[in-house]
Structure 1
Amino acid sequence: MYILLALIAACALGVALHFALPHRELRGVALTPAIATAVAAAVYTILQWAGVGEGSFWLWLASVGGGLLLAAIATLTMSTLRVRHDAAARQALGI
């Protein structure tokens, strides 16, 4: 049941991360929290299967922190690609 705490924390911090990163008008509000939550769930589950205890600091750091880190990287990458695509489309249309 502790996995729910990790997922709620990753989702809530993912929402905060969405608003902290640039170009938020180019993506949906659920993108960053969804990535953070999915990665946190996968990392938490893998580490539990590997034998890391629920009380371990490293389990929580890896799951929540890793989820946020990968969500930030993915969000920044997608936003940058969107900006480049929009600029290329404007240039192609002569706008």
Structure 2
Amino acid sequence: MYILLALIGACVLGIAAHYLIAGRELRGVAVTPAIATALAAIVYTGSQWAGVGEDSVWLWLASVLGSVIVAALATIAIVAVRRRSDAAAKVALGI
């Protein structure tokens, strides 16, 4: 049941990261929160299988904050790729 707390926390922080990162018009609203939530589920489950207890602060830091940081970096990369591809398309079309 504690995994739900980690997933909700990662999703909420992912929503906050979505609004803090520039280029919102170049990506979907659910991209950052979805990446953060999926990563939190993977990290939390993997840590539990590895024997990390639910009372360990490292479990929560890795699953919630770590996943949001990785999701933010992935979002920044997505925006950068999108800007480059849009610029290339404009050059190809002569706009």
Question: TM-score normalised to the size of structure 2?
Answer: 0.98
Farther off after superposition, 6-15 or 65-74: 65-74
For 2:71 and 2:8, how far apart are their aligned partners in 1?
A: 15
- Residue 46 of structure 1 corresponds to which residue in structure 2? 46
RMSD between superposed Cα atoms in Å = 0.5
Superposed CA deviations along residues 4-63 of structure 1, whole A, max 9, x for unmatched, are: 000000000000000000101110110000000000000000000111110110000000
- Runs (4+) of structure 1 exceeding 6 A deviation are none
- Residue 28 of structure 2 corresponds to which residue in structure 1? 28
Q: Which secondary structure state, in structure 2, belongs to the residue aligned with residue 28 of structure 1?
A: coil
- Residue 6 of structure 2 corresponds to which residue in structure 1? 6
- Residue 71 of structure 2 corresponds to which residue in structure 1? 71
Q: Percent identity of the aligned residues?
A: 66
- Cα shift at 1:92: 0.8
Which structure 2 segments of 5+ residues have no match? none
Q: Which secondary structure state, in structure 2, belongs to the residue aligned with residue 79 of structure 1?
A: helix
For 1:52 and 1:75, how far apart are their aligned partners in 2?
A: 29
Number of equivalenced pairs: 95
Which structure 1 segments of 5+ residues have no match? none
Q: Which secondary structure state, in structure 1, belongs to the residue aligned with residue 53 of structure 2?
A: coil
